[in-house]
Structure 1
Amino acid sequence: MKLLVFLAKGFETMEFSVFIDVMGWAKADFGCDVDVVTCGLSKTVVSAFNVPVLVDKTIDEIVVDDYDALAIPGGFEDFGFYEEAYNEKLLELIRLFDSQKKWIATVCVGALPVGKSGVLKGRKATTYHLGGAHKQKVLRNFGATVVNEPIVVDANVITSYCPQTAHGVALLLLEKLTSYREMSLVKEAMGF
């Protein structure tokens, strides 16, 4: 199994690192066949709090057939998140993953590019719910049926409503890629 994690400029480090850790524990401690590949529009992506991350591949190098799932952490508007999260190359990548019914997992406002891509029209989803639920209104304007719950699954798309849900999304994605048993082993070993 291969998980592609897309990092847009201004991504939230905690929402990114949880996918690395959960899948890393699964592979290292339990022999799960899950590899993680990071990707961005450029080779170096700077997080919301100015942490530069060197990604494995740029988006132009990605072939969807090589991956089983896509994860998109959220980020901060003040650090330029939507400049890259709304880039047409990412939106098309999302459409391709969805057209093949591959898992797409997002944390917080990582759901907004999925919404903007059009794949959430008429589907249940959630995103950042605090601050007057402004981001949920944006998601609704993209055609999603907004559900104010921590984690929402509709078909092959997992969305969540704030950074606190990041570990839950990563564990749920691990379950979808492997099994409930393997996810439970990792969850217990990590102390959740």
Structure 2
Amino acid sequence: MKRILLLLPEGFEFLEASVFIDVFGWNLVDGDGTTKLFTCGMTKEVTSAFDQKLIVDYLIEEINMDDFDALAIPGGFEQCGYYIDSFKEPILNLIREFHSKDKWIASVCVAAIVLGRSGILKGKKATTYNMNPERQAMLSKFDVNVVQEPIVVDGKIITSWNPSTAMDVALTLLEFLTSLQNAAYIREIMGFKKI
């Protein structure tokens, strides 16, 4: 069983988190049955960008790296504390640990900035929110080669540029953790077309 950890910083965007829950849930029930998703945060109750509360499965300090195969991170809103929480050392260290163990890391939208802050994108190609040049400028300050594409894969790191790409990021991660055929099947039965 492949275990995916969904990291939820305060102020995360619910849409960007929910795609991972759905894709890996659909795969567990109707796909090849080899994936299960778990959530974690700095606190047991995490508040999303638009003030919904979610109870996570694990606190960050409870995570055993050997129990997980991939890390997924949604973006969020600065006004809702996203960067304050996601720039904390426990979150950055978790990202560094996943990277050092050569595990897949998938991010949506401005979560790439968190990856940049952790240092794992130095010298790599990546993208982030493309509707405001300030976000891409933030990412480039971490010595990242910012690419103008919806989804960028460099090594085992997936980045994307806005919420519209979230479903494709989740399906791309599913493809890398299972197979192209399985991910295509889940995409088809969920009714999504590839961008």
Q: TM-score range by the shorter chain?
A: over 0.9
Distance 1:15 1:6 in 2: 11
**C-alpha separation between the residues in 1 aligned to 2:46 and 2:151?**
27
Q: Provide the rounded CA distance (Å) in 1 between the counterparts of 2:156 and 2:130.
A: 22
User: After the TM superposition, which residues 1-192 of structure 1 pair with which residues of structure 2 at under 5 Å, given as runs?
Assistant: 1-131=2-132, 133-192=133-192
Distance of 1:93 and 1:154 partners within structure 2: 19
CA deviation vs aligned residue, 1:132-176 (integer Å, no higher than 9, x gap): x11111110011100011000000100000000000000000000
Structure 2 residue runs without a partner (length 5+): none
Hey, what's the Cα distance between the residues in 2 that align with 1:70 and 1:84? 17
SS in 2 for 1:108: coil
The one-letter code sitting in structure 1 at the alignment partner of 2:9 is A
Is the 8 Å Cα contact of residues 32 and 178 (structure 1) preserved in structure 2? no
Runs (4+) of structure 1 exceeding 4 A deviation are none
Q: Which amino acid aligns with 1:86?
A: F
SS state of the match for residue 97, structure 2?
helix
Return 5+ residue gaps in structure 1 as ranges.
Answer: none
Shift of 1:106: 0.2
Aligned length: 191
- Structure 1 residue 84: Cα displacement: 0.8
CA positional deviation for 1:111: 0.8
TM-score of the pair, normalised by structure 2? 0.97
